[in-house]
Amino acid sequence: MKIHEYQARNLFRKYGIPVPDDVLCYTVKDVEDNIKDDGKLKVVKAQVHVGGRGKAGGVKLAKTKAEAVEKAGQILGMDIKGLTVEKVLVADAVDIEKEFYVGLINDRNVKAVTLMASAEGGVEIEEVAKTNPEKIIKLSIDPLAGMMDFQARAVALQLFGDIKQARQAAAIIQKLYKLYVETDASLAEINPLVLTPEKEVWAIDGKMNFDDNALYRQKEVIEMREVTEDEQKEIDANENGLSYIKLDGNIGCMVNGAGLAMATMDMIKLYGGEPANFLDIGGSSNPEKVVEAMNILLSDKNVTAVMINIFGGITRCDDVARGLITALDQIKTDIPVVVRLSGTNAKEGLEILESTGLPTVSTMSEAAQKAIELSK
């Protein structure tokens, strides 16, 4: 789960990480009503769930309140990588002497939380990782001992080169780790962490993602969830035990198992078609689930054919076939549906489907080719 920058800043504040003051605004009027004309330099930032806002023109400086109003007017409603900007953050800007990067991730390889830090702040860390990997300091944290003070201090000293500044940064790193662990985060970044000419250290931009598996024990985190229409569809599907992701093609697919579902999409592409979605119905032959899955597939107006790909394991194909008949009976669609059943009781399943007149096949390749043919 992702959150916006303004939400990450609020979490930072809650954990005592210094962040400049800011106001969240939904309209130009919000800016007029809530921003003080205090002569301080402001920065107006689009709040959208994508990276590269600055390059897209979604971050602008404003010297006066009038300018902040003007810039907010330009940014609100803007399209950034397909997302409409619905709110902006108007924050106090701070003078920057130097920019740094500090981030925490769940590292698959070492199976631990890893701290990444770099004196190359303010740019995308992935870029640094590609071009100058030696400029990233990495430290894996012992989950049982936690981040030790000397570790945070040593990394901070490598970045700042001055023990006084390093102490300030080390405290921030410690707080970020505490926040990360306590909220079941999967990513927490301060980029940039800045040093001002007065030698103060501030976090001026933040990004956080959270582990979906742990949301059940993170009530505060869930409350921060803001989703787009497509994401809402994915979440609804999830609540029904389905895993759905919308894509841009026209061949809807319904598959049991995530790996097989990905392989099905790949197969459609391999034979010259475009998959409309990823949809894993899990290991169930429950007709209600099949109905739900069909409803989700057909709510996508781009879909011109559906490929159902089931490999029966513990789930029996004849059960799935019965579920499909019930489902298709309820839905009644003109969109062609190709069914592939294989594995346990596939023969019986295919016999059951014979009466429906649905095209049935026994291999994935045949199913993909047939679905592509019928989609035209």
Residues near another protein (CB under 8 A) are 106, 108-109, 111-113, 124, 126, 142-144, 181, 184, 186, 211-214, 216-217, 243, 245, 247, 255-263, 265-270, 275, 278, 280, 283, 311-314, 342-344, 363-365
Q: Is the dihedral of CA 355, 357, 358, 362 positive or negative?
A: positive
Q: Which of 101, 177, 180, 244 is catalytic?
A: 101
φ, ψ at 214 (rounded to 5°): -100, 0
For residues 121 and 189, is the Cβ–Cβ distance under 8 A?
Answer: no
Find the shortest distance in angstroms from Cβ 53 to another protein.
Answer: 15
Closest approach, Cβ 45 to another protein, in A, equals 21
What DSSP line would sit under 20-68, residue for residue? --EEEESSHHHHHHH----S--EEEEE--SSS-TTTTT-EEEESSHHHH
**What token pair was written down for 281?**
């119905």
The residue assigned the tokens 């739900």 is 292
> Rounded to whole angstroms, what are the CA distances from 62 to 18, 37, 39, 367?
22, 11, 10, 58
Residue 20 C-beta: closest distance to another protein, Å: 27
The answer to whether 277 and 246 are in contact (CB under 8 A) is yes
By C-beta, is 98 or 269 nearer to another protein?
269
CB 195 within 8 A of CB 97: yes
Q: Measured from the CB atom, is 166 or 281 closer to another protein?
A: 281
> In the complex, what is the shortest distance from the CB of residue 69 to another protein, in angstroms, rounded to a whole number?
33
Characterize the bridge pairing of strands 88-92 and 22-25: antiparallel
Q: Which of 99, 120, 189, 292 is catalytic?
A: 189
Kindly tell me which of 46 and 367 has the beta carbon lying closer to another protein. 367
C-beta of 345: minimal distance to another protein in Å? Answer: 10
Residue 245 DSSP code: E
Longest CA–CA span in the chain (Å) reads 80
Shorter beta-carbon distance to another protein: residue 130 or 164: 130
The dihedrals phi and psi of 71, each to the nearest 5 degrees, come to -65, -40
CA-CA distance, 20 to 40, in Å (whole number)?
12
Q: Which two tokens stand for residue 271?
A: 């034979």
189 is catalytic: yes
Closer Cβ to another protein, 31 or 324, answer by number: 324
Burial of 160-181, coded b for 16+ CB within 10 Å and e otherwise, reads beeeebbbbbbbbbbbbbebbb
The question of whether 101 is a catalytic residue gets the answer yes
Burial class (CB in 10 A: 0-12, 13-18, 19+), 323: buried
The CB-of-150 to another protein minimum distance in angstroms stands at 19
Smallest distance, Å, CB 346 to another protein? 10
| Closest to another protein by CB, 171 or 281 | 281
d(CA 106, CA 221): 18
Please list the active-site residues.
101, 189
